Amino acid sequence: MRPALRKELDIPALPYLPLAKNVLIFRLEGEEKTKGGIIVPDVHKEVKSRGILLAAGLAARDVLADGLIEIGDEVCFAHFAGRDRQTGERDAGTAGKAILECKVEDILGSVDALERVKDYDIVYDDEVEGRIYQKKGK
pLDDT, one tens digit per residue, over 122-136 is 777 777 666 666 677
Chain-centroid distance, C-alpha 53? 3
Phi, psi of 4 (to 5 degrees): -65, -40
Angle at Cα 26 formed by Cα 11 and Cα 118, nearest 5°? 105
Contact call for residues 6 and 71 (beta carbons, < 8 A)? no
Q: What is the CA radius of gyration of the chain?
A: 17
**Would you say how long the chain is, in residues?**
138
Residue spans per domain, the chain: 3-111
User: What pLDDT sits at residue 93?
Assistant: 47
Highest mean pLDDT: which of 7-11, 49-53, 130-134? 49-53
Q: Record the pTM.
A: 0.72
pLDDT in tens, 69-110: 888 899 999 888 888 877 665 455 445 567 889 999 999 988
Top pLDDT among 86 and 4 is at 86
Half-sphere exposure of 107 (CA within 13 A, CB side): 36
Is residue 42 left, alpha or beta, with left meaning phi > 0 and alpha meaning psi from -120 to 50?
Answer: alpha
User: What pLDDT sits at residue 22?
Assistant: 93
Top pLDDT among 1 and 50 is at 50
User: What pLDDT sits at residue 133?
Assistant: 66
The domain 3-111 is placed in CATH, from the list 1.10.260.40, 2.30.33.40, 3.10.350.10, 3.30.420.40, at: 2.30.33.40
Half-sphere exposure of 110 (CA within 13 A, CB side): 23
Top pLDDT among 23 and 46 is at 23
Top pLDDT among 29 and 57 is at 57
Beta bridge partners of 84: 100
